[in-house]
A = this chain, B = another copy of it.
C-alpha cells in the first residue's frame, strides 16, 4: 500500500516534471494564455520528449516535417549548408522557443537544427496541433502570433545584415542575447556564448576574424569583458548607443 502510494507519487511527479502545465517556460512558449483545462489538453498532445546531445541534430533539411519542437532546455542553432560546403546560420534558439516552423510550408524541413549544448525538446505533432488549435481559440491565436513574431525577427536580421556595419551588428547581437537571457531569469550582463566565433560570423554575415577583432575592440573601449566564450557586459548603454547611433 505504501509502496503503491509512493509509486503513484513518483509517476505523478514525473508527469508534472515534464507537463506543459507545470513547465516554467509556459509563459514564453506555446502554452501562453491558456486556461488550466486547455493546458491539460495541450499536455496530452506533447507526448514525445527527447534529449539531444551537443553536436547532434534535432532534424535535418529535406527530412519530412511532421512536428514542431519546443526547447525545454539547452541551446540550438539552425543552419543551411551551401553546395560549396559553407554554412549559413539562420538563427540561434534557446529554451521556450519553437523550432521547425519553416517546415510547415513544404512539409519538409528547410534547414538543420543542431544542439549547441546538451538539450531537451518537446515534440508537438503538427497535425494534432492544428486540430487542437481549431478547438482552443487562445492556442490558435497564440500560435499565429508566434509565427508572426518569427517573421518580424527575420526582418530585424535582414535590416541588420542590410544596413549595419560590423560593430553595430555585434552590438545588436549581444544586446539581443542579453535580453533573451534576462527573459529566462538569467543574468543579462554575464553569460556564456554557446556558439563559436565562426557561427556568430555566419549568422551576422561576417568572418570569424572580424568577430574576434570587434570583440577585442569592444573590450578595449570598455563596453564588455570577453574571455573566450564568457561575456560580461560592462556598459550596456554604450552598446545601445552604438546600435542606434548609426550614420
Contacts and interface: CB of A to CB of B under 8 A. Distances in A.
Interface in A184-225: 202-205
A159 interface: yes
Interface stretch (A22-30, A47-55, A104-112): A104-112
A144 B104 contact: yes
What copy number does this chain have within its complex? 2
B90 A159 contact: yes
Contact of A161 (B80, B147, B151, B205): B205
B148 A102 contact: yes
B101 A162 contact: no
Nearest to A247: B84
Contact of A246 (B82, B101, B150, B159): B82
Q: Chain A: interface secondary structure?
A: helix
A44 interface: no
A162 B205 CA distance: 4
A104 B154 CA distance: 14
A162 to B, nearest CB: 4
Given A83-B244, A140-B134, A155-B90, A105 B149 contact: yes
Contacts of A159: 80, 82, 88, 90
A41 interface: no
A86 interface: yes
Contacts of A148: 101-105, 147
Given A90-B159, A111-B155, A130-B141, 11 more contacts: A83-B246, A88-B158, A88-B162, A101-B148, A104-B148, A105-B145, A105-B146, A134-B135, A147-B147, A154-B157, A157-B158
